Amino acid sequence: MGDVVTMDDLTNDEIIEILDCAERLVPVARGDVILPLLDGKVLANMFFENSTRTRMSFETAMKRLGGSVLNFSSIGTSVAKGETLYDTMQMIDGYADVAAIRHPRQGAAQYSADAVEIPILNAGDGAGNHPTQTMLDLFTIREAHGTLEGLNVVLVGDLRYGRTVHSLSHALVRFGARLTLVSPNTLRMPDEIVSDLRSHGAEVTETESLIDQITEADVIYMTRIQKERFPDEDEYAKVAGIYKLEASDLSGAKKGMAVMHPLPRVDEIDPSVDTTDHARYFQQAFNGVPTRMALLCRSLGVDVPKKVKK
């Protein structure tokens, strides 16, 4: 019931409700206000694949709310000895009240949700979904533009393997966004996703050119070409470094246009962009904390107070 495996697990009203809760929790996320809403609760951070921001922001979110965290890594544990995901999750079902799971295999989060009683938050499954990232992305977009409705969002880079953009694009079209998908041909958004987006009535344009899109964009969402998801080095070399955004490219951009990136970046965004008003990616990384706080509260059935006082 509190599972969030894909964005389909949340209605538009629920998304807005979670974003509103996250907004109220910002002072708690910063450590300015002490609010132990999740005192006595335990989060299992089940990371079968490496993560920096997602794992740490889940941990901070839980701890800032007075809860505690079990950190699991598949290296050197029973998983390395051949334990099934089912068995590992059975164990966690007995140890924790909620679990965040990241796994290299697609479908692992849904599989875990079916295997256990406790709520599962999908923290990324293969090239599948990453809905908690989507929630923080939506939070960041709303923070920049005051709304999610009717924006022109340009998604750039690895749209084939990038789970972040898969979840985000689904969510954005539900709020009436216009999507421009910019990628090399080999890294196009999978057909079934494009067909889903269009069936929602969304205007979706696919192109290989980023520069032509800058002046009309409300959001430019850059992604890293993920070396680790390529079957071979040659294919990677053909597309590595294909999109680079520099401060000088943004001279014609709309005021308020937000440049976002799930991070880590390699060379997609030049450091010269960091000091422009368009740069939102570090704020975006912080926003992972209040949004994951709100998601943890929802999964554990804990209400966030209407007013969070100092």
Partner 1 sequence: MTEMRRVTAIRNGTVVDHIPSGHAMQVIRILRIDTARATPVSLVMNVPSDKLGRKDVLKIEDRELNQEDLDRLALIAPAASIAIIRNHAVAEKMRVELADDLVNIARCSFSNCITKNNREPLPQRMRVVSHDPLEVRCYYCGRGQEIGELVENII
Q: Which residues make up the interface to partner 1 (CB under 8 A)?
A: 6, 82, 84-86, 103-108, 110-111, 114-115, 125-129, 191-192
Distance in Å, CB of 100 to partner 1, minimum: 16
What CA–CA distance (Å, rounded) separates 51 from 71? 12
CA 66 to chain centre: 24
CB-wise, 57 or 167, nearer to partner 1? 167
What CA–CA distance (Å, rounded) separates 138 from 141? 5
CB-wise, 107 or 176, nearer to partner 1? 107
Looking up tokens 């890293």, which residue turns up?
A: 224
CB-wise, 37 or 92, nearer to partner 1? 92
CB-wise, 186 or 195, nearer to partner 1? 195
CB-wise, 85 or 177, nearer to partner 1? 85
Distance in Å, CB of 219 to partner 1, minimum: 25
Sign of CA dihedral 146, 152, 156, 162: positive
- Could you tell me which of 62, 102, 68 has the C-alpha nearest to residue 294? 62
Each as own residue / partner, the long-range contacts of residues 194-199 (CB below 8 Å, 24 or more positions apart, any chain) are 196/170, 197/169, 197/170, 197/173
**Strand 68-73 to 42-47 pairing:** parallel
Counting every residue written for the chain, the total comes to 310
Distance in Å, CB of 179 to partner 1, minimum: 19
Distance in Å, CB of 105 to partner 1, minimum: 4
Distance in Å, CB of 227 to partner 1, minimum: 16
